[in-house]
């Protein structure tokens, strides 16, 4: 409880910004924020530089006209999903923090530091970040003619609550090998949310289970948001943000077509990925290169004081989620204008 009060107080101090209150902040802590990449500084980049930190899914894995594969063929959808459920809002710490990365030929030598957050801290952060951003996210979906619903809105009966909460998914085999998030020390979601966690949010088994839930809940699509935090020394950072939109395959299965079920790329799937973006560290096992991770500073402290800065988080998350929706919506409308990912 003490930790929560401290962090919330820090948010208030930063938001109010009066001279009297700012004076209690240790100059060393202020200097950390002055030198670090904050949310505001990251958002101040030109778009082409901002999106260099992202990995857009649709540009790598586009759907097929006959409906096969793990990714949707958007033109078949006719319209952007009207009723979208925010299935989960995950905040976690993998327990490792990247410090340096050095290219050595085809390899990258990465130095990491152990620095796990407490479970209570990630729980607190899930509440803070969700409450800061949900308003802007809802406005963003409204701009696409859609309604973004939180669990208390789409799971509003005892039966729907049971369906929503009854989610079970355990990764194995290839999906487990592709990432190191299974070593996550802490993972949390806001109150009333269920944990729809996967290391790889586009693995076929996960997509199938998620889309099955979307259908049972009477939704047109489902959104998953996953935020990776990192802590080292006396600081806390945002390392990556993922936004993935799922839904029923808009192309009916053709009984005359022979799909290769053992290959996700050629098989037919009832549920597909509409689109998605991962911003930041793409491989938590190796943490990738420093320049590709976000490492956005949000909290620092010294022996004398501490400070949190979440200014602009709603804009940051909304921009990433909007990027997920924008390109998909353009394809659906038949007015494809490539989003400037570089």
Adjacent-strand bridge partners of 149: 85
- Model-level pTM? 0.84
The per-residue pLDDT for 260 is: 76
What is d(CA 269, CA 248) in angstroms, rounded to the nearest whole number? 9
Where exactly are the structural domains of the chain?
Answer: 2-333
Cα dihedral across residues 52, 54, 59, 61: positive or negative = positive
Give the chain's largest Cα–Cα span: 74
What is residue 189's predicted lDDT score, i.e. its pLDDT?
94
Q: Which of 322, 242, 283 is nearest to 98 (CA)?
A: 283
Gap between the Cα atoms of 339 and 77, Å rounded: 19
Looking at residue 235, its pLDDT comes to 87
Tens digits of pLDDT across the chain (342 residues)? 333 333 443 443 333 333 334 457 888 899 989 888 899 998 998 888 888 778 777 666 678 888 888 899 988 998 999 999 999 999 988 776 555 555 556 555 555 566 667 888 889 999 999 999 999 999 999 999 999 999 999 999 999 999 999 988 876 554 444 344 545 568 899 999 999 988 888 888 899 999 999 999 999 999 999 998 888 778 888 988 999 999 999 999 988 888 876 677 788 999 999 999 988 754 434 333 444 457 888 999 888 889 999 999 999 999 999 999 988 898 888 776 554 433
Distance CA 54, CA 282 (A): 9
* Four-point Cα dihedral 199, 203, 207, 209, nearest 10: -70
Of 158, 305, 140, residue with least CA distance to 225:
140
Backbone angles phi, psi at 281, to 5 degrees: -65, 115
- Token representation of residue 30: 């202020």
Which pLDDT score, from 0 to 100, does residue 99 have? 54
Distance CA(269)–CA(271), nearest Å, equals: 5
So what's the pLDDT on residue 102? Answer: 59
Give the contacts of 336 (CB within 8 A, at least 6 positions apart): 327, 330
Query: What is the structure's pLDDT at 186?
Result: 80
Contact (Cβ atoms closer than 8 angstroms) between residue 245 and residue 325: yes
């Amino acid at each position: 409880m003490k930790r929560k009060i401290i962090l919330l107080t820090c948010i208030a101090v930063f938001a109010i910004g009066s001279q009297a209150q700012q004076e209690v902040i240790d100059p060393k802590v202020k200097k950390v924020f002055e030198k670090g990449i904050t949310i505001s500084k990251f958002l101040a980049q030109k778009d082409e530089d901002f999106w260099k930190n992202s990995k857009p899914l649709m540009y790598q894995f586009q759907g097929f006209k006959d409906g096969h594969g793990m990714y949707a063929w958007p033109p078949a959808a006719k319209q952007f999903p009207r009723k979208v459920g925010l299935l989960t809002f995950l905040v976690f710490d993998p327990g490792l923090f990247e410090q340096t990365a050095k290219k050595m030929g085809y390899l990258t030598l990465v130095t990491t530091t152990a620095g796990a957050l407490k479970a209570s801290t990630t729980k607190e952060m899930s509440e803070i970040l969700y409450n800061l951003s949900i308003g802007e996210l809802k406005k963003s979906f409204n701009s696409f003619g859609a309604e973004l619903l939180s669990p208390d809105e789409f799971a509003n009966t005892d039966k729907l609550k049971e369906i929503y909460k009854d989610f079970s998914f355990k990764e194995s085999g290839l999906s487990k090998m592709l990432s190191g998030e299974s070593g996550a020390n802490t993972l949390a979601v806001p109150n009333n949310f269920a944990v729809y966690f996967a290391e790889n949010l586009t693995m076929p088994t996960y997509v199938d289970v998620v889309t099955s839930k979307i259908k049972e809940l009477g939704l047109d699509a489902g959104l998953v948001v996953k935020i990776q935090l990192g802590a080292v020394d006396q600081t806390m950072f945002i390392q990556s943000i993922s936004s993935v939109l799922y839904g029923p395959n808009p192309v009916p299965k053709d009984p005359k077509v022979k799909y290769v079920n053992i290959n996700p790329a050629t098989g037919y799937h009832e549920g597909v990925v509409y689109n998605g973006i991962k911003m930041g560290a793409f491989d938590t096992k190796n943490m990738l290169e420093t320049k590709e991770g976000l490492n956005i500073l949000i909290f620092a402290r010294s022996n004398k004081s501490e400070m949190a800065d979440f200014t602009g988080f709603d804009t940051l998350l909304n921009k990433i989620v909007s990027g997920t929706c924008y390109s998909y919506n353009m394809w659906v409308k038949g007015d494809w204008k490539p989003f400037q990912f570089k």
